[in-house]
Amino acid sequence: MAENTQSAGIANSLTSNTLPVMFMRNERYKGKNVIWESKTKQVFIILVSFLFTFIALWIRDTDKLQFWLSIFLFGFGGIFMLVRFLNPKNIFVTPKSKIGKEILAERTELHQNDNGIFEYHKNGFIITTENETYNYEWNEIKTVYGYKIDLLAYDEICIDVFTIDQKKFTITESTGGWFQFISRLSENIKSIEIDWYLKIANPPFEKNLTLLYDKQNRTIEQIRTENVTA
């Protein structure tokens, strides 16, 4: 029961601090191609394109480059947009639309249940990097830091995991299996607070380096001092 409550707390923190919606290419929903654009905007663009094309044809100043540019850009562009708009295999959605919310909810559920680069066993986990596979028990984690990196358009939360064999793993929100790992990390290391994610997420665009866990109960200053003198 405690583990379920803890997972729910982490899920709530993730929901309230989600990254900007990433619109995937070649995304499909119920057999249709998903286009993350507003239908109203599409109709407006098509009408404007044909309006400029009509004006160019009305003037018919064929000796000027502007005429042919208008025909090519607005005429053919408008036809392309119209064909795409009328294609029954396409579906236009926005993040706030009903279908858009359903798609995002499905994507979030898949993301949260994905183990990614991790496998889990009774007492620990297996992590597979580009070159090697490592097997650890939870009690072999020595130190965990949490922090944020600024990616200009948005922040990405990261954790650095140090193990007793002097290995370091950097895991970010972009890492496959992120949600499952941080959920299981908090479940198995009780001293990691449930709302650590919120504390690092705010304020935005600041690193907010935070010591989430240290096996020896050291402070950040003590760890830094030991690393300098080592």
More confident residue, 19 or 170: 170
In 3D space, the residue among 185, 191, 180, 184 whose CA is nearest the CA of residue 214 turns out to be 191
In 3D space, the residue among 89, 67, 86 whose CA is nearest the CA of residue 78 turns out to be 86
- Angle between helix axes 77-86 and 39-59 (nearest 10 degrees) is 150
Rg, the chain, Cα only:
26
Q: Which helix (H) or strand (E) holds 214?
A: strand 210-214
Average pLDDT score over residue span 92-96: 87
For the chain, give the mean pLDDT.
82
The pLDDT, as a whole number, for residue 229 is 55
Three-state SS string across 123-159, please? CEEEEECCCCEEEEEHHHEEEEEEEEEECCCCEEEEE
- Point out the least confidently predicted range of 19-23, 84-88, 117-121, 178-182: 19-23
How far apart are the two ends of the chain, measured CA to CA in Å? 43
Average pLDDT score over residue span 177-194: 91
Q: Which helix (H) or strand (E) holds 103?
A: helix 98-113
- pLDDT category at 29 given cuts 50, 70, 90 is confident
Q: Please check the confidence at residue 62 and state whether its pLDDT lies above 60.
A: yes
- pLDDT category at 23 given cuts 50, 70, 90 is low
- What CATH class is the domain 2-19+114-229? mainly beta
More confident residue, 152 or 81: 81
Mind listing the pLDDT tens digit for each residue in 118-177? 999 999 999 998 888 999 999 999 999 999 998 887 889 999 999 999 999 999 988 999
User: What SS3 class is residue 74?
Assistant: helix
Average pLDDT score over residue span 71-77: 85
The pLDDT, as a whole number, for residue 212 is 95
Average pLDDT score over residue span 70-98: 88
For CATH 2.30.29, the residue range(s) in the chain are 2-19+114-229
